[in-house]
Amino acid sequence: MTAPTLRFVAELFRIDDLHAKPTEGTDEILRGVSLTVNEGEVHAIMGPNGCGKSTLANTLLASPEYEVVQGSLHFRGDDITEWPTDARAKAGMFLGFQYPQEIAGVSVIQFLRQALSARKGIDLSVLELRLSAMDWMKRLGMNSTFVDRHLNEGFSGGEKKRNEIMQMAILEPELAILDETDSGLDIDALRIVAKGIHEVRKVRPQLGIVLITHYQRLLNELRPDFVHIMIDGRIVKSGGMELAEQLERQGYEAYLNA
């Protein structure tokens, strides 16, 4: 009898007892978050408004608006708690913003070239980068002239989110933190974005994803491996898709009153 093949799953990212507060404030928003993401896993974090989800996303990428009070962050075995944003990004961490910023005068292709140069330490020609971008724009249902527009300037909500997914594809991160990627999307745009995430995962199956969302609808498309409920700056329960389905039926009230 042949023994089953054992698959080694490498730890990619770990959060240990993370406490964080606004740089200009005194009250902690994150009050002891712990989470481990292995290669190839998709973790969804759900919670009501004000529970700390976006604070977590910004703290993970070292936003200067937040300060770690206690706990640690580890990426590929390194303690990155004190690393600045650019060092985390170069190492392979990516943040998809809930509200992507407009940058007038900088085209999408220029932004991608600069970001890829910083991330990989290589200087792709505009032609090489354009060919890669054209492929991803086709997959994401984007017009071929998109990369020549100024970054997020005049973009619809769906265009901004698809642009974030294209950035994630081209920059080839090892960990993607997607902060409410479904925010402001209609069902058709949501499915296009979800399809784009699936396409990226096909190319990079070891990519770890932390997906922050209010709603089940994106999870129905992506089917995460783990779902975590965040209340008052802590993860209070973890499970699978059944947990998201329970929230859809019952809401957060049972956890708010616990």
Break the chain into its structural domains and give their ranges.
11-100+173-256
162 has a pLDDT exceeding 90? no
**Residue range 11-62, pLDDT digits in tens:** 999 999 999 999 999 999 999 999 999 999 999 999 998 899 999 999 999 9
Task: For 170-203, write each residue's pLDDT tens digit.
Answer: 999 999 999 888 777 788 888 888 888 999 999 9
Given a cut of 60, is residue 1 above it in pLDDT?
A: no
The string of pLDDT tens digits covering residues 118-158 is: 888 877 778 888 888 998 888 888 888 888 888 888 787 77
pLDDT tens for each residue of 194-241: 888 999 999 999 999 999 987 788 898 899 999 999 999 999 999 999
Q: Which amino acid is present at 1?
A: M
Mean pLDDT of the 85-93 span: 93
- Residue-level pLDDT at 86: 92
Its pTM surpasses 0.85: yes
At the top level of CATH, the class of 11-100+173-256 is: alpha beta
